[in-house]
Amino acid sequence: MKRCPTCQQTYTDETLKFCRDDGATLITDDSLQAESATQILPSSHSGDQSHAQTLHNAKSETTTSVLDVDKATAQTAGLKEPRPTSSAEQHSTKRISPRRIGFALALIALLLTVLVCGYWFSARRSANATQIEAIAVLPFQNESGNAEMEYLSDGMTESLITSLSQLPKLNVKARSSVFRYKGKETSVQTIGKELSVQAVLTGRVIARGEDLALYVELVDAATENVLWKADYKRQMANLATLQSEIARDVADKLKVKLSGADEQRLAKNYTENADAYQLYLRGRFYTNKRTPKDSQKAIEYFNQAIAADPKYALAFASLADAYSILSSFGGAPSHEAMPKAREAVLKALSLDNNLAEAHAALGLILSSYDYDFAGAEREFRRAIELNPNYATAHHYYAQLLNNLSRFEEASAEYRRALEVDPLSLIINRHYGESLFFARRYDAGLAQLKKTVELDANFASVYASLALLYQVKGNYAESVEAQAREQELFGNTANAALIRESFARGGWKEFLRVVTEAPEPILSPWHNAAAFHAELGNK
C-alpha cells in the first residue's frame, strides 16, 4: 500500500507512482499494510476496543498532519517553527472556575482600595503640612554679647507676636506663654504639644553699633523640620520697618489667606522713628517685669518715646498700662496714677481709634476705677473685635463678667484667653477663682491645681487654694496652702506660726492666732472678716 506524504491520501494500486490530488511521489507504508491486514483479520479484542484504537490512530494522524502543515507554512514565511503544545499548556487552556475569577476580582478590588486610601492620606498629610493654623513665636536669642541688648531681642519678639496676632485666621500664642521657654532647652516637639501649635518660629538677634542682624527659622512642631529660614541684615535706623517686613514674610510662608484689611495691618508701622521705637521697646521690657520700680522705669521710657514721636499711639497705650500696673502693685495711689492712665489712653485713641490695646486699657480703667461697667464692656468687646487673638482683652472682659455674676459668659472668655495664652499663670488662677464663685468647687480646685503644676512657686495661687479648701471643709489643706504662700513671700516666721497653731489646736486655734495677731499674718486678700465671723466675733 502506498501513501502521499503531503496530503496523506492512501492508494492500494502498487503500480501508481504519483498522488492523483497533488502530484507528490507516493511512498510505500508497511504500517498501513499491517493495519489493512488487521482490519481483514480481526483480533480477539472486542469491537469497542478496536473502534477506540481506530479513533486514537485517526486523532494522531490528524495532529501530525496539522503540525506538518504549520511547519511548512512557518518555513515558507521565514518564521520559527511552532512549538508543540505541552500537556501543562493544554491543561491551562481549560475553563477557569467562577470561584477563582471571584477571588481574583476581590484581590484586585482590595489592591485598588489600598492604593486610593494611601493616596488620600498622603494628600491629606501634604495639605495639613501647608495649612498652619497655630504658631508660637519663641523669644529671640540675644547673641549681641551685651546683656543690655536683651530689651531688643525681647521687644522684637513681642512686636512680631503683636503683628501676627492681628490675623484672625491664625492663632498666635501670647507673650506670657512663649516667654516661659526663655533660656530653657526645650525641644520644639515638646513646645508644640504644650502650646498646641503646628509651627514654631525661632530667632537670633545680633546688634553691634548701628548694624543689626536677625536670623529666623520656621520649624514644623511635629517633625522639627525647618520649613523656612531667612536672614535680615539692616541698620538700626530701619528697625521699625523691619518688623512689618518680617511679619509679612512669615504670613506668606504660613500660607495664610490675607484680606485687604489683613495686608494693611501687617504693613502698618506705628512709628517710622527708629529712636522712638527703641525707647518703646525698652519701656515694654520694664513693663513686663511688673514691679513698682520697673513700672516707673517703663513710664520714663514711654514718655521719651512720645517725645521723639508725639503721634506714637502705641506708646501712649503702653504708658496707660504702666500707670495701671503701678497703681495695682502699690507703687502709686490710684487717685494719682489712674487719671494719668486715662489721659494717656484717650490720647492713644485720638491718634488711632482702631488700636485694640488702647480699647482694652480704657476698659480696665472704666471697670476698676470708674465702675462704669457698661462702658467697660463696650471697650472690651471692641478690643476683641479688633484683635480676636488679644488674650489680655479676653482676660479683662472675663474678670468684668465674673464680677457681674455672669459666670457662664466669664468661663467662655477665660477659655478663649487660655487658647491664646495657655501658660499664663494669672489667667489660669483667675479662671479657677471664677469657677469657685460660680460654686463649681471641684472644677475650680482642678483648675487651681493645674496652675500649681505650671509653676509651684506662684505664690498668689495658694491664697485661692486655701479659700477653696476651706469652703470644702479640708482645713488641713487650707492651712498648708496659707503657710506655703507665706514661705514663697519670704515670711518663714509666719509660715511656722500658721502650722504650729493648727497642729496645737486645729482649725479654731488657727483662726484665733491669725485674728488676734498684732501684725497681719496672712495676705491682704484673705477674708479676715469671715474668720472673725466663724469664731463668733463681732
Question: What are the φ/ψ torsions at residue 137 (nearest 5 degrees)?
Answer: -95, 105
- Per-residue pLDDT at 114: 67
Dump pLDDT digits (tens) for 236-263. 988 888 888 999 999 888 888 888 888 8
Pick left, alpha or beta for residue 337 (phi over 0 → left; psi -120 to 50 → alpha; otherwise beta).
Answer: alpha
Does residue 125 have a pLDDT over 50?
A: no
Dump pLDDT digits (tens) for 305-321. 999 999 999 999 999 99
In the three-class reduction of DSSP (H, G, I as helix; E, B as strand; rest coil), residue 25 is classed as strand
Does residue 484 have a pLDDT over 60?
A: yes
- Per-residue pLDDT at 257: 82
Q: Any idea what the Cα angle at residue 322 is, between residues 318 and 328, rounded to 5°? A: 140
| Structural domains in the chain plus CATH codes | 134-267 (3.40.50.10070), 270-382 (1.25.40.10)
- Per-residue pLDDT at 309: 97
pTM for the model stands at 0.72
Pair 286, 295: CB distance under 8 Å: yes
Confidence label for 24 from pLDDT (cuts 50, 70 and 90): low
Q: Which residue reads 494693611 in cell numbers?
A: 264
132 grid coordinates: 498652619
CA 397/CA 409 separation, integer angstroms: 9
Pick left, alpha or beta for residue 86 (phi over 0 → left; psi -120 to 50 → alpha; otherwise beta).
Answer: beta
CA 434/CA 172 separation, integer angstroms: 25
- The region of weakest confidence among 101-115, 192-206, 363-377 is 101-115
Residues 441-451, mean pLDDT to the nearest whole number: 97
Cα–Cα distances (Å) from 50 to 38, 44, 57, 180, 341, in that order, read: 10, 10, 11, 105, 126
